[in-house]
Amino acid sequence: MIPVAQNNDFRDQVMVATPGGERLKSCIQCGTCGGSCPNGADMESTPRRLFALINAGERDQVLDSNTMWMCVSCYLCTSRCPQEIPITDIMYTLKRMSVAEGHAAGTDGAALARTFTSYVDRYGRSFEFGIASRFYLTQKPASLLRMGPLGLSMFTRGRMSLTPTRIRQVAQLRAIIDKAKELGGAS
């Protein structure tokens, strides 16, 4: 049994950063989440266990966990949770905290998110070829060889553009993003 901490700043932060996150306090440790999760078997802690660790204030153990990076955002746990805890959204919060506090440095999940968002910031659109090539080149160059034939067959079928599409109002988008980052906080 993992003890529940009395003064738990960590849990409060997780709850404040997640709309509806106060439901976390109502977790009854039933395990429906982990049992439903398509990647549950590969998680160091299932969501149930992770929530017990959050309630115990085990900040480092939680933020170092692979759990949130194994989350595929399928929302099966969320739609099944009898306590209506927004589990998938809490996973997003933990990813952000983990990145912000340097726990996820170098992980593929964090690197993909960083690469993806940098293209969106620059062009206003996702750019599959650019994202994939930069991500594989920096994170896992050995896989580039295996990805080559797949990329080629996508290209020959007209399913891969080699140049990005740029929206007209990139400056407007950037102003919105910059203001949002300045406002920050929970949302």
Q: Which residues bind another protein (CB under 8 A)?
A: 17, 19, 38-39, 42, 69-70, 72-76, 78-79, 86, 88, 92-93, 95-96, 99, 108-110, 112-114, 116-117, 120, 124-129, 132, 135, 143, 146, 150, 153-154, 157-161, 165, 167-169, 172-173, 175-181, 183-187
Least distance CB 119 / another protein (angstroms)? 8
Instruction: Give the side-chain half-sphere CA count within 13 A for 70.
Output: 17
Q: Which C-beta is closer to another protein: that of 7 or that of 156? A: 156
Q: Which C-beta is closer to another protein: that of 47 or that of 56? A: 47
Least distance CB 62 / another protein (angstroms)? 16
CB-count exposure of residue 94 (10 Å: 0-12, 13-18, 19+): buried
Least distance CB 36 / another protein (angstroms)? 10
Give one DSSP letter per residue of 105-140, joined into a string.
Answer: TT-HHHHHHHHHHHHHHHHSS--HHHHHHHHHHHH-
Least distance CB 44 / another protein (angstroms)? 13
Q: Which C-beta is closer to another protein: that of 1 or that of 157? A: 157
Length of the chain: 187
Least distance CB 56 / another protein (angstroms)? 25
CA distance 111 to 106: 7
DSSP 2: P
Q: Which C-beta is closer to another protein: that of 2 or that of 177? A: 177
- Give the helix ranges, DSSP H, for 19-127: 32-36, 47-55, 59-63, 67-70, 76-80, 87-100, 108-123
Q: What residues contact 99, with CB distance under 8 A and at least 6 apart? A: 110, 113
Q: Which C-beta is closer to another protein: that of 30 or that of 180? A: 180
